[in-house]
Amino acid sequence: MKKIWLAGGCFWGVEGYFQQLQGVVDTTVGYGQGQVVNPTYQQVCSGETGHTEICEVVYEETQITLVKVLEHFFRIVDPTSLNRQGPDRGTQYRSGVYYTDEIDGAVIKEVLQQVQVRYTRPIVVEVEALQSFYPAEEYHQDYLNKNPHGYCHIDMGLATVNERK
Protein backbone atom coordinates (compact mmCIF):
# COMPACT_ATOMS: atom_id res chain seq x y z
CA MET A 1 0.00 0.00 0.00
CA LYS A 2 1.07 3.54 -0.75
CA LYS A 3 0.00 6.82 0.86
CA ILE A 4 -0.32 10.35 -0.42
CA TRP A 5 -1.80 13.38 1.33
CA LEU A 6 -4.00 15.75 -0.68
CA ALA A 7 -5.32 19.20 0.23
CA GLY A 8 -7.96 20.73 -2.00
CA GLY A 9 -10.39 22.87 -0.04
CA CYS A 10 -12.75 21.23 2.41
CA PHE A 11 -11.40 17.77 3.17
CA TRP A 12 -14.87 16.19 3.15
CA GLY A 13 -15.13 16.58 -0.62
CA VAL A 14 -11.61 15.36 -1.33
CA GLU A 15 -12.27 12.29 0.82
CA GLY A 16 -15.69 11.63 -0.75
CA TYR A 17 -14.25 11.84 -4.24
CA PHE A 18 -11.28 9.54 -3.64
CA GLN A 19 -13.40 6.99 -1.74
CA GLN A 20 -15.17 6.31 -5.05
CA LEU A 21 -12.05 5.19 -6.92
CA GLN A 22 -10.93 1.64 -7.56
CA GLY A 23 -7.62 1.04 -5.86
CA VAL A 24 -8.22 3.51 -3.03
CA VAL A 25 -8.46 1.33 0.06
CA ASP A 26 -8.71 3.91 2.85
CA THR A 27 -8.99 7.62 3.52
CA THR A 28 -8.57 9.72 6.65
CA VAL A 29 -9.20 13.45 6.88
CA GLY A 30 -7.04 15.60 9.09
CA TYR A 31 -4.81 18.59 9.53
CA GLY A 32 -1.26 18.89 8.27
CA GLN A 33 1.76 21.06 7.70
CA GLY A 34 1.10 23.33 10.70
CA GLN A 35 2.86 24.30 13.90
CA VAL A 36 0.37 23.12 16.54
CA VAL A 37 0.48 19.53 17.79
CA ASN A 38 -2.88 17.73 17.43
CA PRO A 39 -4.94 20.84 16.63
CA THR A 40 -8.71 21.05 16.85
CA TYR A 41 -10.99 22.04 13.98
CA GLN A 42 -11.64 25.37 15.68
CA GLN A 43 -7.90 26.07 15.98
CA VAL A 44 -7.30 25.22 12.32
CA CYS A 45 -10.24 27.39 11.21
CA SER A 46 -8.70 30.36 13.04
CA GLY A 47 -5.98 30.38 10.36
CA GLU A 48 -3.35 30.77 13.07
CA THR A 49 -1.97 27.21 13.24
CA GLY A 50 -0.52 27.00 9.73
CA HIS A 51 -2.40 23.75 9.07
CA THR A 52 -4.32 22.87 5.94
CA GLU A 53 -7.21 20.43 5.69
CA ILE A 54 -5.75 17.23 4.22
CA CYS A 55 -7.07 13.87 3.10
CA GLU A 56 -4.72 10.94 3.55
CA VAL A 57 -5.29 8.55 0.65
CA VAL A 58 -4.12 4.95 0.97
CA TYR A 59 -4.07 3.19 -2.37
CA GLU A 60 -3.04 -0.09 -3.97
CA GLU A 61 -0.40 0.86 -6.52
CA THR A 62 -1.17 -2.15 -8.73
CA GLN A 63 -4.74 -0.85 -9.16
CA ILE A 64 -4.20 2.91 -9.32
CA THR A 65 -0.88 4.65 -9.85
CA LEU A 66 0.30 7.86 -8.24
CA VAL A 67 0.07 9.56 -11.64
CA LYS A 68 -3.59 8.49 -11.89
CA VAL A 69 -4.27 9.70 -8.33
CA LEU A 70 -2.80 13.07 -9.29
CA GLU A 71 -4.83 13.15 -12.51
CA HIS A 72 -7.95 12.80 -10.36
CA PHE A 73 -6.72 15.44 -7.93
CA PHE A 74 -6.31 17.98 -10.73
CA ARG A 75 -9.86 17.22 -11.92
CA ILE A 76 -11.27 18.49 -8.63
CA VAL A 77 -9.10 21.50 -7.77
CA ASP A 78 -8.30 24.82 -9.38
CA PRO A 79 -4.52 24.67 -9.05
CA THR A 80 -4.18 28.41 -9.74
CA SER A 81 -6.38 29.46 -6.81
CA LEU A 82 -4.38 30.52 -3.73
CA ASN A 83 -5.87 29.66 -0.32
CA ARG A 84 -9.25 28.90 -1.86
CA GLN A 85 -11.26 26.15 -3.51
CA GLY A 86 -14.84 26.92 -4.47
CA PRO A 87 -16.42 28.97 -1.69
CA ASP A 88 -13.87 27.72 0.89
CA ARG A 89 -11.44 30.53 1.69
CA GLY A 90 -8.48 30.74 4.03
CA THR A 91 -5.02 29.27 4.40
CA GLN A 92 -6.53 26.07 5.81
CA TYR A 93 -8.11 25.50 2.37
CA ARG A 94 -4.92 25.86 0.34
CA SER A 95 -4.14 23.14 -2.17
CA GLY A 96 -1.26 20.79 -1.69
CA VAL A 97 0.21 17.39 -2.38
CA TYR A 98 2.37 15.97 0.40
CA TYR A 99 4.57 12.89 0.34
CA THR A 100 6.96 10.85 2.48
CA ASP A 101 8.79 9.07 -0.35
CA GLU A 102 11.29 11.19 -2.32
CA ILE A 103 10.55 9.17 -5.47
CA ASP A 104 6.89 10.19 -5.12
CA GLY A 105 8.01 13.79 -4.69
CA ALA A 106 9.83 13.68 -8.01
CA VAL A 107 6.77 12.17 -9.75
CA ILE A 108 4.50 14.84 -8.25
CA LYS A 109 6.79 17.65 -9.41
CA GLU A 110 6.94 16.18 -12.92
CA VAL A 111 3.14 15.91 -13.12
CA LEU A 112 2.82 19.48 -11.85
CA GLN A 113 5.04 20.69 -14.71
CA GLN A 114 2.81 18.85 -17.19
CA VAL A 115 -0.32 20.37 -15.66
CA GLN A 116 1.15 23.89 -15.72
CA VAL A 117 1.15 23.97 -19.54
CA ARG A 118 -2.67 23.89 -19.45
CA TYR A 119 -2.85 27.16 -17.50
CA THR A 120 -1.78 30.71 -18.22
CA ARG A 121 -1.68 31.59 -14.50
CA PRO A 122 0.93 29.97 -12.27
CA ILE A 123 0.03 26.86 -10.30
CA VAL A 124 0.06 27.53 -6.56
CA VAL A 125 -0.34 23.96 -5.27
CA GLU A 126 2.11 23.23 -2.46
CA VAL A 127 4.31 20.22 -3.13
CA GLU A 128 6.22 19.31 0.01
CA ALA A 129 7.38 16.45 2.13
CA LEU A 130 4.74 15.74 4.77
CA GLN A 131 5.73 17.56 7.96
CA SER A 132 2.79 16.56 10.11
CA PHE A 133 -0.63 14.95 9.86
CA TYR A 134 -3.19 14.74 12.66
CA PRO A 135 -6.47 12.94 12.04
CA ALA A 136 -9.48 15.21 12.39
CA GLU A 137 -12.24 14.65 14.91
CA GLU A 138 -14.39 11.56 14.37
CA TYR A 139 -17.41 13.53 13.16
CA HIS A 140 -15.33 14.69 10.16
CA GLN A 141 -14.33 11.14 9.12
CA ASP A 142 -16.48 9.77 6.27
CA TYR A 143 -18.60 12.89 6.63
CA LEU A 144 -20.36 12.69 3.28
CA ASN A 145 -21.19 9.01 3.83
CA LYS A 146 -22.76 9.93 7.17
CA ASN A 147 -24.41 13.07 5.74
CA PRO A 148 -25.25 12.36 2.07
CA HIS A 149 -26.67 15.86 1.56
CA GLY A 150 -23.85 17.58 3.43
CA TYR A 151 -21.85 20.47 2.03
CA CYS A 152 -19.39 19.63 -0.74
CA HIS A 153 -17.71 21.91 -3.29
CA ILE A 154 -16.55 19.01 -5.51
CA ASP A 155 -18.49 17.50 -8.40
CA MET A 156 -18.43 13.80 -7.50
CA GLY A 157 -19.46 12.96 -11.05
CA LEU A 158 -15.95 13.80 -12.25
CA ALA A 159 -14.84 10.31 -11.24
CA THR A 160 -15.49 8.31 -14.40
CA VAL A 161 -17.74 5.28 -14.17
CA ASN A 162 -15.09 2.68 -15.09
CA GLU A 163 -12.76 4.03 -12.37
CA ARG A 164 -15.32 3.82 -9.55
CA LYS A 165 -15.54 1.01 -7.05
List the catalytic residue out of 10, 45, 55, 152.
10
- The count of other CB atoms within 10 Å of the CB of residue 3 is 17
78 contacts: CB under 8 Å, gap ≥ 6 = 85, 95
Does the annotation count 10 as an active-site position?
yes
Distance (Å, whole) CA 2 – CA 46:
32
Amino acid at 75: R
> How would you write 81-124 as a 3-class SS string?
CCCEECCEECHHHCEEEEECCHHHHHHHHHHHHHHHCCCCCCCC
Nearest alpha carbon to residue 159 among 12, 6, 18, 7: 18
Alpha-carbon gap, residue 84 to 80, rounded angstroms: 9
Catalytic residues: 10
